[in-house]
Every structure is written in structure tokens, then in C-alpha cells.
Amino acid sequence: MYCKIKTIPIVFLAIASIIMGDNRFYVWTYEYKTMERGRAEFEHYLTFKAPKMDSLAGSVTTVHNIEFEFGMNDKFDFSIYQNFEQPAGGAFQYSGYKLRARYKFGGKNQYLMDPLLYFEYKGKPDFIKHVLEWKLILAKDFESFHYAINPVFEIEYEEGEREYELKYNAGSSYRINELLRIGLEIKGGKNGHYLGPVISHGKDTFWVALGSAFAFTEIINNKPEFMLRMILGIHL
């Protein structure tokens, strides 16, 4: 009996070491990763947005993004998001959906930076607004450090009008041990620029990442001055 019981955790650890989930080092920046073939993952994004950093009371909007991610082959994955939002003092409501695809080029360390193409479509329940977004994911590991940069091009269609925007996300992180990383992210576009720390914990089957974004330039067009995001991932 003792031998049988002891074998169970050993087998579990062996399986867990083989499974490679889409564990994230950052909350705004993407890395050179896709879900492995035939596997799936559940992710929950919890984001708080505040219009002013010095006045949070009664002004924070809460956003929930529910994602199911599927590995289609060794280089391509696909995700479906359902999005929900609750404005400060308002009702919890469904805000739309998102479809996302990622494709890895080459193999890790084949090029100067590891490249991945990212595409997403965001839609509203009434179909009056459509957003197309492309990202070029460039990432690199160097010993215990990781670096990633994501130039972004976005097209928004709403009620016959079209708007274009160039944005960026970038991050750097340091591996403290097998489970824990700390880092820094920067992001921005025409509406302003943000900087904030990030911490991630976990590996493969279960992980969590927590990061923030503090505005360090003027913010326009009613965008938030402060954001806080936590992502929880569970490999299925």
C-alpha cells in the first residue's frame, strides 16, 4: 500500500513536467509562446481601470475577460474570449467577444529575436463596432532574463467611420527561481504611455501574473491613468 500511494505523486509530477501551458511572464506584453497541439487552457483576466490615480474611490471600472485557448498544431493556436464590464456604480454587463490567433515562425533561438504573428478581432453584441489588431511578437531569453516587444497596428470600424492606431507593449523580466519572476512593462500609443512592475508565479499547469500600468505622460480621450491586471491560467 505504501509503495502504491507514494507512486501517485511521482507519476503526477512526471506528467506535469511534460505538459507545457501558456504561462505568462507579463500582463500586457506577449511572448514567443503558443498552446501545444491538442491541449487547451482556461484564462481569466481581471482588470481595474481608474481615470485618475489620485482619486480611486467610486471611479474604478472592473473588466473580466474569460478566455479558452486551443493548440491547433505545434506553431498555431486559437482563442475565444467573452468579455464583461462593470463601470463604477453601474451594472455588470456583457461587453463583447474576441477571437485571437497566433503563429510562431521558425524555432526558438533560430533568429536574433524569436518571432510570432498575432491577430485578433473584437466585436460588440450589436455588431456596430469592429476592431482588427495585428501584433508582431519579438522575444528573447538571455540566461535568467527575458525580453519582449510587441509593435501593434489597430483598425477600428464604427458606424461607417474608420480609425487607425499604432501602439506598443514591451517587457523585461528576471527569473528568481523556477516558479517566480519579477519584471517591468511599458505600453502606450496616441492616448498616452504607461509603465509598471509585474510579477508572475507558477509553471505549466497553473500560473498567475499580476501587473500594473501607471501613466507617465498626459492621458487623453478619457483613457485611464492607472490600470491593474491579474491573469490566472489553468491548463486543461
Q: How confident is the model at residue 55 (pLDDT cuts 50, 70, 90)?
A: confident
Q: Is 178 exposed, middle or buried (0-12, 13-18, 19+ CB in 10 A)?
A: exposed
| pLDDT computed for residue 22 by the predictor | 65
Average pLDDT, the chain: 90
| pLDDT computed for residue 56 by the predictor | 83
CATH number of 21-235: 2.40.160.40
| pLDDT computed for residue 6 by the predictor | 40
In this structure, what DSSP letter does residue 39 have?
Answer: -
pLDDT digits (tens, 9 = 90+) for 168-180: 999 999 999 999 9
Q: How confident is the model at residue 2 (pLDDT cuts 50, 70, 90)?
A: very low
Distance CA 69, CA 98 (A): 12
Mean pLDDT of 183-200: 98
| pLDDT computed for residue 203 by the predictor | 83
Distance CA 55, CA 225 (A): 10
Q: Is 199 exposed, middle or buried (0-12, 13-18, 19+ CB in 10 A)?
A: middle
Helix then strand then coil, in percent of the chain rounded to 5, is 5, 60, 35
| pLDDT computed for residue 127 by the predictor | 92
**At residue 165, does pLDDT exceed 80?**
yes
Mean pLDDT of 192-196: 98
Higher-confidence position of 159 and 91: 91
| pLDDT computed for residue 18 by the predictor | 36
**Which percentage of the chain shows pLDDT scores above 90?**
83
pLDDT digits (tens, 9 = 90+) for 105-141: 988 899 999 999 999 999 999 999 999 999 999 999 9
Helix or strand (DSSP H, E) at 142: strand 129-142
| pLDDT computed for residue 161 by the predictor | 92
Name the amino acid, one letter, at 159.
E
Domain ranges (residues) in the chain: 21-235
